[in-house]
Chain A
Amino acid sequence: MHDMTAHAAAHHAPPQGFIRKYVFSVDHKVIGIQYTALGLVSAFIGMALSWAMRIHLAWPTASIPFLGTLSPNGAPGGVPTPEYYLSLMTMHGTIMAFFLLTAAPMAGFGNFMLPIHVGAADMAFPRLNMASFWVTFVGFVLACATFFIPDGPPLSGWTAYAPLSAVGAVAGPGQGWGQNLWGLSIALFCVASLLGALNFIVTTIDLRTKGMTLSRLPLATWAWFINAWVSLLAFAVLLPTCLLLVLDRLGGTSFFIPGGLVINDKMLPHSGGSPLLFQHLFWFFGHPEVYIIILPAFGIVAHVMPTFTRKPLVGGWKVITYAMAAIGGLSFVVWGHHMFVSGMSPYMAMVFSVPTLIITIPSVIAVLVFAFSLYGANMRFTTPMLFCLGFISLFISGGIGGFFLAQPAVDSYLHATSFVVGHFHFTMGLSAVFAAFAGFYYWFPKMWGRMMNETLGKIHFWLSFVLVYCVFMTLHLMGLTGSVRRYSQFVADFMVPLTPTNRFITIAALLLGATQFIFFYNVIWSRFKGPKAADNPWQATTLEWDTTSPPPFDNFGGRQMTVYHGPMEYDGDAFVMQTSTEKSIAGT
């Protein structure tokens, strides 16, 4: 490749003043931290909502005083009504899936690290980047605002299935303005994600420094790049879906509402729409979405692991990258497996079932690459490494459940049970969260210039790891007994014997939540009191470790970064930085 020298353009000095520097900043590092902070706040809110749900499930008459204050109608005396339980569930899903899992691993770490990984001074379109964050933020505020309007949050789940989500206030509390705000919030989130994806793609393609060929890109960057393409195409379909939903609700159209619906003794004027159309369009986005969540997790693990196994991944950069690309592509052709019991054409069920089983192949390849890379490793059991191992474990455990759910016949039994809840919390929820923790512990020194406390980190890992299995493996078992998801109380006869199991899950979930305070404490303490981080505390090779901690405004202090090696030049304690002119030691 011949070199291209950048064109001269207008000169920008680092911004002065608090607002330009930390609030409406165009610096990708600040935006990355803003996204990460948004993710942490979302995680806390989502987690608190799940505690309320779990407490209510295990002790149906228990009063949760906070809920009573938040919504006197939804939880009179602190005991949530069945409708309010669904509201809690909806907001737990929305906040966790969109504002934590979609935003943090991709937009949070990605914004901070991707330009540094490729050796650029900023993203390709810094102002667009700032707009992405603030649009996301407005979406987040709108989603949270639903708690404070009289009706409360919507109760149609994060998937907002029509016609429940489309018919308006007649369908129940929260289905009026709560659902309107939800639709607007997600539409804004789509716009922000599209702009972010565009920015990631162009940055990766156009802003690579000299020598940073595609084969030398760090694997996290590969994952973000592939993921940006998946986001681009998936959110492009969710956006019009949200618009059509809002039209149904506010414009009186009937895209998603069938004729002859009687809800709460009221005949609806709509006719001729199709709830299946909504499910198709939603899951057209929704299935790629779960891979939008997990691909950055793969990338982070692939980036972090070689640093601590002190050897390249099995198969070099190619196998894992091709596997991620295959997952990204296949993720678009399997959405119907969410709809096996929706009344979809049974022929389509077969059409969707086969690719669903096929997509396990690249997923298994990716996970086996991680697992085989442990063989013969000179392992360093740091906290980020432990979380990578936790990720592998959780993804395999959750993935095995996928084989059951991919088959229409088995899925018909399991579909609306807590088996599915356990399955997706393992695969897309906690796998991604564990990978995000790995990334957080790994990059914290670079982002804030201080080391995190390793002891607290390890306690955090081991408690989380054990408790996650207690909660979600048990949910799998509950699902096999026929325990239905989305029910706020287990009143059916066959469910009553499960009450002790339910209480076990709740106690484990509360402890799991409490464990996260160790993490919050560790973050706050380390941010201010942690030992100063060296430039390269992990003895890693990629460009972010080739600058100060935290990096200066232009990332490399005006140095020309020239890259000579791939990202996985490890051989035991020896390693070669990507910018080093030394000879390769790992042959990557």
Chain B
Amino acid sequence: MSSNQELSMGSYAGIVIGLMIIVGIEVVLTYQHLSVRTLLFALLCLASLEAFVGVMYLMHVKYENRLLFWTIFPATLFVLVLLNYLWPDAYRMARMSLGR
């Protein structure tokens, strides 16, 4: 099943270096005195980009059957989105402890 020879080792090296550059950007952003909220948003976006590139190229999903893409991403994102239901209670907890 290894018909995924679309990329040369050179391209892989390029992708990994690209990921390292994104990590570098993350570190630079960290020291820009952004607000916590902005920094978190930026870091999550960059990390998601890294994960997407990693899954698509390093893990070959781009070269597999498209059904695989449409299985793993919706299943994982479904759980990730639902876990966001936790936030209202997390923020209430913060407010309650401030009020004490």
For residue B83, which residues in chain A have a CB less than 8 angstroms away from its CB? Answer: 237, 284
B67 to chain A, nearest CB (A): 10
CA distance A236 to B75 in the complex (A): 12
B82: nearest chain-A partner, CB-CB: A332
List CB contacts (< 8 Å) of B28-76 with chain A. Answer: 75
List CB contacts (< 8 Å) of A214-268 with chain B. Answer: 229, 232-233, 236-237
For residue B27, which residues in chain A have a CB less than 8 angstroms away from its CB? Answer: none
List CB contacts (< 8 Å) of B63-100 with chain A. Answer: 75, 78-79, 82-83, 85-86, 88-90, 92-93, 97
Which segment of A82-90, A342-350, A498-506 sits at the interface? A342-350
**Size category, A interface:** 20 to 34
Cβ–Cβ contact B79 & A277, under 8 A: no
B75 to chain A, nearest CB (A): 7
A119 to chain B, nearest CB (A): 22
Could you mark each residue 319-348 of chain A with 1 if its beta carbon is under 8 Å from any beta carbon of chain B, else 0? 000000000010011001000000011011
Cβ–Cβ contact A347 & B88, under 8 A: yes
CA distance A345 to B86 in the complex (A): 10
With A274-B93, A276-B93, A284-B83 as known contacts, state yes or no: A229 contacts B88, CB within 8 Å.
Answer: no
Cβ–Cβ contact B78 & A277, under 8 A: no
Cβ–Cβ contact B85 & A237, under 8 A: no
CA distance A558 to B85 in the complex (A): 51
**A466 CB–B CB distance under 8 Å:** no
Cβ–Cβ contact A348 & B75, under 8 A: no
**A458 CB–B CB distance under 8 Å:** no
Cβ–Cβ contact B89 & A351, under 8 A: no
For residue B90, which residues in chain A have a CB less than 8 angstroms away from its CB? Answer: 274, 277
CA distance A12 to B93 in the complex (A): 58
B38 to chain A, nearest CB (A): 25
**A280 CB–B CB distance under 8 Å:** yes
Cβ–Cβ contact B89 & A233, under 8 A: no
Cβ–Cβ contact B89 & A345, under 8 A: yes
Cβ–Cβ contact A233 & B78, under 8 A: yes
A228 to chain B, nearest CB (A): 12
CA distance A347 to B91 in the complex (A): 13
With A276-B93, A333-B82 as known contacts, state yes or no: A233 contacts B75, CB within 8 Å.
Answer: yes
CA distance A351 to B89 in the complex (A): 13
A279: nearest chain-B partner, CB-CB: B89
CA distance A272 to B98 in the complex (A): 12
Cβ–Cβ contact A345 & B92, under 8 A: yes
A325 to chain B, nearest CB (A): 13
Most chain A CB neighbours (cut-off 10 Å) among B75, B89, B90: B89
Cβ–Cβ contact A344 & B89, under 8 A: yes
For residue A233, which residues in chain B have a CB less than 8 angstroms away from its CB? Answer: 75, 78-79
A281: nearest chain-B partner, CB-CB: B86
B88 to chain A, nearest CB (A): 4
For residue A347, which residues in chain B have a CB less than 8 angstroms away from its CB? Answer: 88
Shortest 10 CB-CB contacts between residues of A and residues of B: A345-B88, A276-B89, A280-B86, A233-B79, A348-B88, A274-B93, A345-B89, A345-B92, A332-B82, A344-B89
Besides A237-B79, A348-B85, 14 other CB < 8 A contacts?
A233-B79, A236-B79, A237-B83, A272-B97, A274-B93, A276-B89, A276-B93, A277-B86, A280-B86, A332-B79, A333-B82, A344-B89, A345-B88, A345-B92
